[in-house]
Amino acid sequence: MAGHSHFSPANVEEHFEFTSEGKKRVIYAFIAGVVALVLGIYLLSKGEAGGHEVANAGHEAVKAGHEAASEHLSGGAISHQPAAEEHYDWTNRIWANVWLNAVFFTGIAIIGMFFVSLQYLTKSGWSSVMKRVPEAFPKFLYITLPILLLVFFFKGDAIFHWMHHGVTEVGNENYDKIIAGKSGYLNKTFFIARLVGFFALWIGLWTVLRKKSLEEDLIGSTDLFNQMVRISTAFIVVFGASSSMFAWDWVMSIDTHWFSTMFGWYMFSSWHVTGLAVITLTILLLKDKGYMAYVNENHLHDLGKLMFAFSIFWTYVWFEQFLLIYYANMPEEIIYFLERWEGHNKIYKTSEILMVFLNFFFPFLVLMTRDAKRTRIFLKIAAFFIIVGHYIDFYQMIMPGVLGGHAGYGLVEFGMVTVFASAFIYIVSDELTKASLIAKNHPFLPEAVHHDI
């Protein structure tokens, strides 16, 4: 197709071809991930016998932190028990990685829908040339839903302290007053109802939006556009509630005694900027292959501004959450940061420093100038490191509560993320082939084609 800014949008179609060569590459990456994962699991099982001394050293370090945090508290009912240490089994590291990746990639998938919905809700014109890319992301929810459900059903007690036997039974040796107090919300039935209910709404609203979007290509109608605005509005309302609840359910409830009123925002901000980085990177890779020539440096500039702005927004939420807990100095709150800074093992402290560098300083400095936001290589580098940085962010949210001093970065971690990433690339690439890359009858397309900033 002619990829010039003066083409007539209404009679242009451009179809992405997921070539056999491309499929092979992704499948090879998937297989490499599986091999690394299997090898990592084997080494983990072998190393477990000799790893107890290291684990015990980590346990002693965190124990000191827990005692310091608990000593001011009356009756000790609120002291944060290192549940990960008490109930550790070497296979927990595998399940923790499955959960981490399922949560991380669910976020990227649903941010695709959030991005598209936001464009419809605000009636934005500039993004209409690229909306087919994020519109394909939610297809991956069909993969992550069963994974989340299966891990929760069969290995939930390896991840969540509140699922341990007897924690809500008065008189049981494992009875925990705080967890019992939260059991009206944190119980298996309600947890699954929220998970399945919100996923059904997410997938349902995306399916309807996608259907209308493809229909618009065939017949072109402002009526269809208005229907999509209404669907998007409904989704934004649903997402507002569900993204916060999933933050509490999937991540915050791992550290069951601890809570933060900002956590919903915190996890959303991490999901959101990661999703924006994946959208940007996908568009740039498609442009490298000769597609989407009509996406010009003005559109890229806007994507760069979004990544830049929401990296700063994430930093604001991260720092505010920390600052409020720091100056209140309440032991039951500060334990969360003590575990990540002083306790368990040094990997968390290193990850915390690296995460702040990759998620704030790096994108802030790389994307600060106008030219950088319009230059493909800078956008690619920034997007890639934002994705890596926020993966570490989720690692920091999940691993200390699940694994305590037994966490690490090894073949299990690299294998698992490779398996999930290649599956995501395959599913999204396949979905991209099912519609024209340009929504040719979008009413704002002429505006987008001539977008200039």
Q: If you write DSSP's letter for every residue of 5-30 in order, what string do you get? A: TTS-GGG---B----HHHHHHHHHHH
Residue 291 falls in which region: left (phi positive, over 0), alpha (psi -120 to 50) or beta? beta
DSSP 140: G
Answer whether residue 387 shows pLDDT above 60.
yes
DSSP 250: I
Average pLDDT over residues 281-303: 94
358/384 Cα distance (integer angstroms): 10
Domain ranges of the chain: 20-449
**Residues whose CB is less than 8 angstroms from the CB of residue 408 and which lie 6 or more positions away in sequence, other chains included:** 93, 345, 347
Answer whether residue 144 shows pLDDT above 70.
yes
Helix (H, G, I), strand (E, B) or coil at 436: strand
Average pLDDT over residues 16-41: 95
394/172 Cα distance (integer angstroms): 33
Question: What is the reported pLDDT for 448?
Answer: 86
Query: What DSSP assignment string belongs to 348-372?
Result: HHHHHHHHHIIIIIHHHHHT-SHHH
pTM, to two decimals: 0.90
Per the CB < 8 A criterion, the answer to whether 275 and 114 are in contact is yes
Q: Which pLDDT band, with edges at 50, 70 and 90, does 89 fall under?
A: confident
Average pLDDT over residues 372-391: 95
Better-predicted residue by pLDDT, 60 or 395: 395
Q: How many CB atoms lie within 10 A of CB 74?
A: 6
207/219 Cα distance (integer angstroms): 18
Closest CA to 82 of 392, 338, 353: 338
Question: What is the reported pLDDT for 59?
Answer: 45
272/315 Cα distance (integer angstroms): 13
418/139 Cα distance (integer angstroms): 18
Question: What is the reported pLDDT for 52?
Answer: 43
How buried is residue 134: exposed, middle or buried, by Cβ count under 10 Å (0-12/13-18/19+)? buried
Two structure tokens written together for 238: 């649903």
Beta strand ranges found along 234-274 (DSSP E): none
Q: Which pLDDT band, with edges at 50, 70 and 90, does 13 fall under?
A: confident
Answer whether residue 441 shows pLDDT above 70.
yes
How buried is residue 87: exposed, middle or buried, by Cβ count under 10 Å (0-12/13-18/19+)? middle
Q: What percent of the chain has pLDDT over 90?
A: 71
Question: What is the reported pLDDT for 86?
Answer: 59
Q: At what angle do helices 263-288 and 92-121 cross, to 10 degrees?
A: 80
Q: What are phi and psi of 299, to 5 degrees?
A: -65, -40
The DSSP element (H or E) to which 264 belongs, if any, is: helix 263-288
Question: What is the reported pLDDT for 31?
Answer: 97
Q: How many CB atoms lie within 10 A of CB 24?
A: 10
Distances in Å between the Cα of 136 and the Cα atoms of 110, 244, 279, 401, 423 are 10, 23, 10, 33, 14
Two structure tokens written together for 294: 């009509």
- Residues 33-87: tens digit of each pLDDT: 999 999 999 999 888 644 443 444 344 444 444 444 444 443 333 444 445 555 6
288/298 Cα distance (integer angstroms): 17
Q: What are phi and psi of 201, to 5 degrees?
A: -65, -45
Helix (H, G, I), strand (E, B) or coil at 51: coil
270/255 Cα distance (integer angstroms): 19
What's the first-to-final CA gap in the chain, in angstroms?
25
The Cα angle at residue 98 between residues 390 and 342, in degrees rounded to 5: 55
Residue corresponding to tokens 């669910």: 106
Question: What is the reported pLDDT for 267?
Answer: 96
Question: What is the reported pLDDT for 413?
Answer: 95
Q: What is the 3-state secondary structure (H, E, C) of 60-85?
A: HHHHHHHHHHHCCCCCCCCCCCCHHH
171/372 Cα distance (integer angstroms): 63
- Residues 359-370: tens digit of each pLDDT: 999 999 999 999
127/108 Cα distance (integer angstroms): 18
Question: What is the reported pLDDT for 353?
Answer: 93
The Cα angle at residue 177 between residues 174 and 180, in degrees rounded to 5: 85
399/403 Cα distance (integer angstroms): 5
**Residues whose CB is less than 8 angstroms from the CB of residue 193 and which lie 6 or more positions away in sequence, other chains included:** none
Average pLDDT over residues 252-271: 93
Residue 123 falls in which region: left (phi positive, over 0), alpha (psi -120 to 50) or beta? left
Answer whether residue 193 shows pLDDT above 80.
yes
Helix (H, G, I), strand (E, B) or coil at 295: coil
